Amino acid sequence: MALAKEFPSPVAPGKDGKLVYETLARGDRVPDYSHAGYRGGGVPLPMLPARILVAPAEGEDGARIQAALDHVSALAPDASGQRGAVQLEAGRYEIAGQLKITASGVVLRGAGSGPDGTVLVATGTDRRPLIEVAGRYERKDLASARAVADDYVPVGATQLRVADATGLAVGQSVTIERPSPAEWLAQLGMDVAPARQPYLWKPGTVNIRWDRVITAIKGDKITLDTPLTTSLDAKLGGGKVTPYAETGYLSDVGVENLRCEADYDRANPLDEQHAWNAIDLHAVRDGWVADVTAVHFAGSAVQVGARVARVTVQDSASLAPVSENAGYRRMAFHARGQQVLFLRCRSEQGRNDFTTGYQTAGPVVFLDCIATGMSSFSGSIGAWSSGLLFDGVKLDGGVLRQDNLETFNQGVGWAAANSMIWQTEASVIISRQPPGAHNWVVAVWAQYVGDGRWSGTNEFANPASLYRAQLAERSGPAALVTLEKRIYPAAAANLERWNPRGARVGSESVATSGKPLALVNGVLTVGGERLSGKEQALAWWLGRLEPARASEPGPAITRWAPGRTGTGLTDEIPAVVARMKREGAAVLRHHYGLWYDRRRIDHQMIRRPDADVWPPFFEQPFARSGQGKAWDGLSRYDLTKYNPWYFGRLKAFAAEARREGVVLINEMYFQHNIIESGAHWVDSPWRPVNNVNGTPFPEPPPFTGDTIKMADAFYDLAEPAYRALHRAYIRQCLASLADEPNVIHTLSAENTGPLHFMQFWLEVVAEWERETGQQPLIALSATKDVQDAILADPVRGAVVDVIDLTYWFRTDKGEEFAPAGGMSLAPRQHLRQWKGGRPSAASIRAMAQEYRAKFPGKAVITGLDQAGDVQP
């Protein structure tokens, strides 16, 4: 491996005072980073006039503030597109939900970011961003893509040739896309990886896209308003240019001069059941966050989404975060967009304080930012962020990386390219050179690691700030005034005080109508119609963060990707239900995930060395205690306390199911955890090393090679305290969904367990029904012997409303696959021993008819794919 060595500075003032750039062999040079920021940098943040004054009141304030924001959003914009600001007086405001800005030209402004200023307190246990500034991502290509005609367009270039410039115009928005073919992946060494799960890149999934504006056209050559941050090489796929128009993006929107605090459980210093981010920006072009302090949030003070460009975040702070000190937490200031400037931002006790994400196209600048007490590194945490600048940054005791992160988070690999660290202090700076790209380090004070292009180590830079020097040269010295701190005007004395009538807490009232599930004469109906359709497949161990691959695993209800929404991430529940209806699915079977941390996809049984967990996370039904250290590095679970986010997601899905006429089958347990691979058990909340409750299982676990059989021990309820944990958990599952009719409860996914555990489960259900007067739909999902024994039991059989024919079947030849329950074998293990055929739709219908005839008041469903319908 090449070691750190000195190079001449790639940027330096010439004799005339203008910057002189080193040009490398193929024309690559340091990009002009000064295009980062509001309106492309060098433009002052506007001070919109206040239109409404809001004062704190007794109780919840969120509805009144939101009503004020909606009022200003409805005003006619002026000639510059601005509507005005909602001015909040000093004081504390309790926000039970979320504040949203959804119109251009609207600002939320407080009266100071200190404890005595305007303090917005996020109450409750929902992991939401407290403030979301979000437009709609609506883009239309205006013409077909045109190939880039140059053999090579260097890093830092603003000009390129296209195969056909017809129809392009000055002032037009274009996307320049660089592909990610196999040849490029091979050049980077990202086409190979070790281990059972290959952590490598796939061709076509690491494309880089820049949104730019054409400023000049001469023949087939176009000039762009902002440089490219990665080269375009014809031998590596070249590039293409596509003109587009966008609607729905917000502009001239901001949040300023206020303080955000997340309420949390003071008894748990690692509590994560509270607001996650202070401010999220999505689908914004030209916006800002200024003078905002975020306190006690688990994730970010400010997160800038991927579809955001030309924004400034300045003079803001992240203080005293409350969360596990673990992966994808405490990412104080995080960007995935383009042309983003973080100016004089401060982070205390963070983890990844100043970061960018996957394929961040840049430029993204961190200027004069400071972090103290950090526990991990700053830099890119996603694949191939290019055009990053750390300028005047101080990481007291921290690490800054321009690096190949290799297998981190399922193969991030090369994380930073064509990026600069300038006049920066850190304990350690790691800079490595990606093949075919560059990373520069100039005038830094740190321990040095890597083969990056190091210049002037242990020296002071000239110019002192690269961003400022580039901005002054591009826009004139007067542009530097735009980087000064803001001064806020006092609210006008005659400003109208906002006191709307009828504003109510919460974003949505509880709906009572819809298409409820009912059992009518042995038939399940929704909205009065027979329940019919297939089952929706559920992801329960797969997930990725890469934008191009995130949707591959399909939907999951309780998968959590901090700060990210969409299929494969934190799924939007209405979108999941809409997909079900579109694809003819009537039922979704849900159970908790196989493990929380994506590192366990390697199927190893080792204790993890740290809490650097990989998302997306499969949330478990139990809450973390904040005590001790589980096998995955986070704190141990408390099996007497439940995860409100997990059960809140189930309830939200059940409510949407009622509205849209689909059904949730709530499988309370997941037998996969206790059988087959030893990796299935090692992170389970029920394992003694992972909880504070002293569950009665052997340690170390009785592995046989890389397999384990914990079923017999798990189903043994002899110990009263252990039995009580199960009883309380079953009751929690019932109570959490008691108000929603479109739910069927079953014992477990992949259930081949013994009769006695099924008997216990039904006894607890019956006890709860007697105490509450509730009558949820209960399905008997088991092997045939257990099923028949329960149905023959007049007491326990009476609790059953639905017979689920999923774990046994008959073929058209009359062969019966009916393994005995309680054999410590999973369904697929039983099937491997089976020498007969498979069922057909006809044979499954015959099974259903048999059981309907025997038990006419009970419905019959199946999860067997061959049936073609959940209610055969």
What 3-state DSSP class applies to 439?
Answer: strand
Give the count of alpha carbons within 13 A of 388, CB side only: 35
8 Å CB contact between 113 and 258: yes
* Averaged pLDDT, 797-813: 97
What are the pLDDT digits (tens) for 724-783? Answer: 999 999 999 999 999 999 999 999 999 999 999 999 999 999 999 999 999 999 999 999
pLDDT at 870 over 70: yes
Q: Looking up tokens 């005072």, which residue turns up?
A: 17
Q: Single out the residue of 835, 831, 812 nearest to residue 823, CA to CA.
A: 831
d(CA 733, CA 592): 12
Q: How far apart are CA 309 and CA 244, in angstroms?
A: 15
pLDDT of 510 above 70: no
SS3 142: coil
Tokens of 752: 């081949």
CATH number of 138-246: 2.40.30
Q: Hey, which residues does 162 pair with through a beta bridge?
A: 148
The whole-angstrom separation of Cα 675 and Cα 507 is: 43
Taking the C-alpha atoms of 363, 369, 370 and 376 in order, what is their torsion angle to the nearest 10 degrees? -10
Give the C-alpha distances (Å, rounded to integers) separating 154 from 30, 217, 323, 756: 10, 19, 43, 70
Structure confidence by residue, pLDDT tens digits, 75-110: 999 999 999 999 999 999 999 999 999 999 999 999
Query: Distance between terminal CA atoms of the chain?
Result: 63
- Name the residue with tokens 């393994």: 819
pLDDT per residue over 4-20, tens digit each? 678 999 999 999 999 99
C-alpha triplet 404, 407, 410: angle, nearest 5°:
120
pLDDT of 499:
78
Structure tokens at 757: 């555990």
Question: Residue 367: which of 33, 17, 29 has the closest Cα?
Answer: 33
Sign of the alpha-carbon dihedral angle for 470, 475, 480, 482 = negative
755-772 and 784-791 helices cross at what angle (nearest 10)?
A: 40
Q: Which of 442, 401, 435, 392 is nearest to 420 (CA)?
A: 442
Using a pLDDT cut of 90, give the percent of the chain over it: 94
pLDDT digits (tens, 9 = 90+) for 821-864: 999 999 999 999 999 999 999 999 999 999 999 999 999 999 99
Q: Which residues are CB-contacts of 58 (< 8 A; sequence separation ≥ 6)?
A: none
Contact 554, 633 (CB under 8 A): no
Residue indicated by tokens 């005007």: 489
State the pLDDT at residue 31: 98
pLDDT score for 1: 43
Residue 653 vs residues 559, 662, 861: alpha-carbon distances, Å: 13, 10, 21
Give pLDDT tens digits for 40-61.
999 999 999 999 999 999 999 9
Tell me the residue type at 406.
E
5 contact partners, CB below 8 Å, separation of at least 6: 451, 454
Average pLDDT, the chain: 95
Q: What residues contact residue 241 under an 8 Å CB cut-off, 6+ apart? A: 145, 146, 147, 148, 160, 162, 168, 174, 175, 176, 177, 222
Structural domain spans, the chain: 5-137+250-483, 138-246
Residues 6+ apart with CB under 8 A from 557: 538, 571, 573, 576, 588, 590, 649, 650, 653
Q: Report which of 246, 213, 39, 56 is spatially closest to residue 142, judged by C-alpha positions.
A: 246
Q: What is the CATH number of domain 5-137+250-483?
A: 2.160.20
Mind spelling out the 3-state secondary structure of 3-50? CCEECCCCEEECCCCCEEECCCCCCCCCCCHHHCCHHHCCCCCCCCCE
Tokens, residue 791: 């149905």
Q: Are 54 and 88 in contact (CB under 8 A)?
A: yes
